[in-house]
A and B are shown apart, each in its own frame.
Chain A
């Protein structure tokens, strides 16, 4: 009897524990479902290559338009309205703030609309392309289209007119090209600073430093403390030290990419040092002794034998750092700033992908769809990095055994 009761109590406990353990899985799946549901719609080449800030074109076409006509493409959205006369399709849509606008859904490649003279710039041409919003058109017969009239009315006006006196279209914007470039710059600069510093420090601490000297222990302790410092405090360091430093050195005014990279370098430094030291620990002592026995001195042994064997470990430290750089936000908000830029200059502000999300979420109307699309990109990179690190670790352990 008693045994039975104990057994069923055990079973019940087992089930409860298994269920609680599902919480982690549940959270991960929820995060994935959320960001993919909201974000996949925006994932396109335009997102990667486009500018963040919309640009307005002011064009005209004195006409008259040929009467040959342009056939409606078969794969056009059935909800779009199409003008065969002009070869343009319009559709009603809502932007992320929920406001209505008229989007140009399709422009026939043969129609004159693909290349129109720009009113604001002399001898300059702008092309009306799908994705742009149609804000306002004044036709040559003085009829006026405003976007609030909707796509259907717009197409009717196009069909009734032979020329355009003034047309305002706006590129979609919300592209992340600038942030991708910034992230790339930050990764390169940070690694260029942190890798030599970190690897040399690890080599010194593991290969050269005298054992149990007070100053060596102190140095180790200081580097260890760095691991526990929250990233926003690194941001304060960047704002208080690196921004003035780069200002006086490169003439930057305020936060800039170099001060950001210096701050990130301090953040990833303990990661690189500890991973490199682990890698050095895993290099068998036989290698060192064999090299020394062959007459090489310690410096030669370290740099030609030991470091070479530690390369996979250093590589995984690098990947770990890249993940940290891509995900870092709080420190960069202080060390660079939150201004989104399309033109990237090293001595000026810009946003990495993570800070880009912060910037578009911080306003009155957070742009969830775009934030989730960028989150998908960040997650994909982080996942790839993580699996690469696992592969390297497996490779190291299989070589060792």
Chain B
């Protein structure tokens, strides 16, 4: 009798232990999930203060001018961010235009055209590029890319401010998103149904024809995911971009040899004080950055769905 009660109470204790563990584990999980909400609440809270008379009184920033402005800062309190958004989208799209073809072809080469040893070697190269921190890309951009841009400008008889220019930014970003797009495209190419390729070859298509007309088309959706991630990375990239973008006061700049200003470089450059309008307005820029990233993500996902439909 005694043993039975003990076993029952034991069982009961074990079950409460499970319930307790469940509850205790739920707490860290909720904390982990709550950081997104923290970001949304606190960055917004700080980012709207420049527009509030309650905080800055007569010095408050005009929201309309902030959103439509083509000059970053007119003392004491006029800020404009419209041209920065345009600049950011411009350099990111240019970077994607350079990086996407190279990445997709590299992925095709690695996944489909070589044996596993050479493919593995090249994949390791791409993985290493992905692992390099952005500050090193910044040093590289300032030390090599900007010098290269000076040479290019010289060929075209153009002036650059020591290579600090839109073109340098575009090239640095193109290099930085190359591994992102390539690695995901490799997975996409590898998951193409081999039967499709074999049937294409059996129908008399050459290897290259098969690669471009069958494999590429089937891997399209996966490649697009890579492009979306790459563009997301490029939009949010801060350190390396800030080192080569320059500090253009107004815009938008479409001239590749002129200095530019992106959302992230605006947030990082000249950061000295940790209070006041010049500091708080950076949070407003941060909100705009988040909005731009979310919108571009939504638009690209929409395009991806549309493209995927017409296979």
A residues whose Cβ falls under 8 Å from a Cβ of B:
6-7, 9-10, 13-14, 17-18, 20-21, 23-25, 27-28, 30-31, 34-35, 38, 196-198, 200-201, 203-205, 208-209, 218-219, 222-223, 225-226, 228-234, 236-237, 239-241, 243, 254-255, 266, 269, 273, 297-299, 302, 323, 326-330, 333-334, 337-338, 354-355, 357-358, 361, 366, 368, 371-372, 375, 378-379, 382-383, 385-386
Give the CA-CA distance A329 to B20 in the complex, in Å.
Answer: 40
Q: Tell me whether B42 is interfacial, beta carbon within 8 Å.
A: yes
Decide if the interface of chain A is mainly helix, strand, loop or mixed: helix
Q: Tell me whether B140 is interfacial, beta carbon within 8 Å.
A: yes
Let me know if B140 and A236 touch, CB within 8 A.
no
- Name the residue on B nearest A30 (C-beta): B144
- A21-B105, A254-B274, A361-B139 known; A230 vs B28 contact (CB < 8 Å): no
Let me know if B35 and A233 touch, CB within 8 A.
no
Given contacts A233-B286, A327-B135, 12 further A-B contacts (CB under 8 A): A23-B106, A28-B129, A196-B28, A197-B28, A200-B28, A205-B29, A208-B26, A233-B289, A299-B21, A334-B271, A368-B139, A386-B128
Using a Cβ cutoff of 8 Å, how many contacts connect chains A and B? 235
Closest-CB distance, A299 to chain B (whole angstroms) = 4
Give the CA-CA distance A204 to B29 in the complex, in Å.
Answer: 7
Give the CA-CA distance A108 to B293 in the complex, in Å.
Answer: 62
- A219-B33, A226-B36, A232-B238 known; A24 vs B126 contact (CB < 8 Å): yes
Interface size, B (range): 35 or more
Let me know if B18 and A299 touch, CB within 8 A.
yes
Residues in A neighbouring B34, C-beta threshold 8 A: 222
Closest-CB distance, A399 to chain B (whole angstroms) = 21
Let me know if A230 and B237 touch, CB within 8 A.
yes
Residues in B neighbouring A20, C-beta threshold 8 A: 101-102, 105-106, 109
Interface string of B7-37 (1 = CB under 8 A from A): 0000000110110111011101111111111
Give the CA-CA distance A299 to B179 in the complex, in Å.
Answer: 41
Q: Tell me whether B79 is interfacial, beta carbon within 8 Å.
A: no
Let me know if B36 and A222 touch, CB within 8 A.
yes
Let me know if A230 and B289 touch, CB within 8 A.
yes
Q: Tell me whether B142 is interfacial, beta carbon within 8 Å.
A: yes
The 9 closest A-B pairs by CB, nearest first: A230-B236, A327-B133, A204-B25, A330-B238, A21-B109, A297-B14, A222-B33, A299-B21, A200-B28
- Name the residue on B nearest A194 (C-beta): B32
Of the candidates A25, A30, A334, A382, which one forms a contact with B133 in the assembled complex, judged by CB atoms under 8 Å apart?
A: A382
Residues in A neighbouring B109, C-beta threshold 8 A: 17-18, 20-21
Residues in B neighbouring A204, C-beta threshold 8 A: 22, 25-26, 28-29
B residues whose Cβ falls under 8 Å from a Cβ of A:
14-15, 17-18, 20-22, 24-26, 28-39, 42-43, 45-46, 101-102, 105-106, 108-110, 113, 122, 125-129, 131-136, 138-140, 142-144, 175, 178-179, 182, 206-208, 229, 232-233, 235-239, 243, 264, 267-268, 271, 274, 282-283, 286, 289-290, 293, 297
Let me know if A358 and B239 touch, CB within 8 A.
yes
Closest-CB distance, A193 to chain B (whole angstroms) = 10
Let me know if B18 and A297 touch, CB within 8 A.
yes
Of the candidates A6, A230, A371, which one forms a contact with B238 in the assembled complex, judged by CB atoms under 8 Å apart?
A: A230
Of the candidates B33, B134, B140, which one forms a contact with A327 in the assembled complex, judged by CB atoms under 8 Å apart?
A: B134
Let me know if B271 and A358 touch, CB within 8 A.
no
Give the CA-CA distance A17 to B189 in the complex, in Å.
Answer: 15
- A197-B31, A361-B142 known; A240 vs B102 contact (CB < 8 Å): no
Let me know if B129 and A24 touch, CB within 8 A.
yes
Residues in A neighbouring B268, C-beta threshold 8 A: 232, 330, 333
- A233-B236, A233-B290 known; A361 vs B138 contact (CB < 8 Å): yes
Residues in A neighbouring B143, C-beta threshold 8 A: 34, 38, 368, 372
Let me know if B182 and A24 touch, CB within 8 A.
yes
Residues in B neighbouring A6, C-beta threshold 8 A: 206
